[in-house]
Amino acid sequence: MLFAIVRRGKKSGTRLFPHRFNDDRYHVHLGKEGPYIPVTDHRDLPSYLANGYSLQMSDGAQSHPPSLIKPESIHGWSTNPKDLFFPTL
Please report whether residue 9 resides in a domain. yes
At residue 33, the pLDDT reads 81
- pLDDT of amino acid 24: 94
Angle at 28 between CA 42 and CA 71, to 5 degrees: 85
Residue 28's identity, in one-letter code, is V
Whether residue 57 lies inside any domain: the answer is: yes
pLDDT at res. 10:
87
pLDDT along the chain (89 residues), means of 10: 90 92 95 90 93 92 85 85 56
Instruction: Tell me the HSE value of 54 on the side-chain side, using a 13 A CA sphere.
Output: 16
Q: Are 32 and 70 in contact (CB under 8 A)?
A: no
Total count of domains within the chain: 1
Does 87 fall in a domain?
no
pTM of the predicted model, to two decimals? 0.82
Q: Under a CB-based contact definition with an 8 Å cutoff, are residues 32 and 55 in contact?
A: no
Do the Cβ atoms of 39 and 46 come closer than 8 Å?
A: no
For residue 70, being part of any structural domain is answered with no
Which DSSP state fits 82? H
